[in-house]
Amino acid sequence: MPAPDVVRAALAELGVCTPLHIQQLVDQVIDEFAPTGREDLVLRFAVPVPVLAMPGFCGMDESYAAGAGRALPALLGESVDPARAASNLRTLLARLVAEMAADPGPDLVSWTVNHHAGGPEADVVDRLYSLVLEVAELAAGRISSTLADCLPGPGRTPGDSPTDLMAFSGPPRTAAALADLIGDTAVARLLERLPRLWLRVPRAELALDPSGLPTELPVQFPPVRIEYTGEIVDRLPAPVFTIAPPVAA
């Protein structure tokens, strides 16, 4: 894992557009299922949102983001070949580290490379791999757990649901700060866009993983018609960070 001061320094440089970056990605995910009126929010929301968000924090262009978008879901869920997905993600990060070492940008990879300047490149790749995967896992868990606890459903009215959307019992790790930012922004935007979400099964009957996090969130809601105007929307405001790190001597 990256040392805590690495991520703290990088997070301190997050630009004011960062919540907008996440919010626009969340809108993209919501637009895909809003017209249906029914969905599993773990499969279609809690997992996809962090997967879409992390490339922006890492300074990945579309070619990198596509590879990460294939590897991360396989590592977060059940995969027939997780070893291949892990290898693909490490290869992608190794290429990215080499590029950012030569030409740092306003992103988490460049800040991590700068902090570990002079060290083995493989160590930097290992640290970034752990960070990217942990942030995605924690953010997905935060989203699913928060929604499971706050959404009304059978046997629970809206007034019975917890009002503190930030309540989450997670490990105090470095990656939690970034995961919290992604998760909290995602949940707030979802409830703003679809305020009448309703769990289709009682909270106590949700399937859970060994850590107690929901593996499913079947919900229903009034369908929302999405009108596409053909206007091109910039869904990835950049830079996510305000400045690039100084070039290592």
pLDDT, tens digit only, all 249 positions of the chain: 444 555 566 666 666 667 888 888 899 999 999 999 999 999 999 999 998 888 888 888 877 888 888 888 888 876 667 888 899 999 999 999 999 888 888 888 888 888 777 778 888 899 889 989 999 999 999 999 999 999 998 877 655 544 444 433 333 356 788 888 899 999 999 999 999 999 999 999 999 999 999 999 999 999 998 776 555 555 444 556 677 776 644
Q: How far separated are the first and last CA of the chain, in Å rounded?
A: 24
Identify the CATH class of 4-220: mainly alpha
Contact 107, 57 (CB under 8 A): yes
- What's the rounded Cα separation, in Å, for the pair 215 and 144? 8
- Give CA–CA dist 96/91, Å, rounded: 9
Amino acid at 93: L
C-alpha torsion angle, residues 74, 77, 78, 81 (rounded to 10): 20
Are the C-beta atoms of residues 136 and 76 closer than 8 Å to each other?
A: yes
Handedness of CA 149, 153, 154, 155 (dihedral sign): positive
pLDDT value, residue 220: 96
Do the beta carbons of residue 68 and residue 54 sit within 8 Å? yes
Q: b vs e for 179-190, b when ≥16 Cβ sit within 10 Å of the residue's Cβ?
A: bbbbbbbbbbbb
Domain range annotation of the chain: 4-220
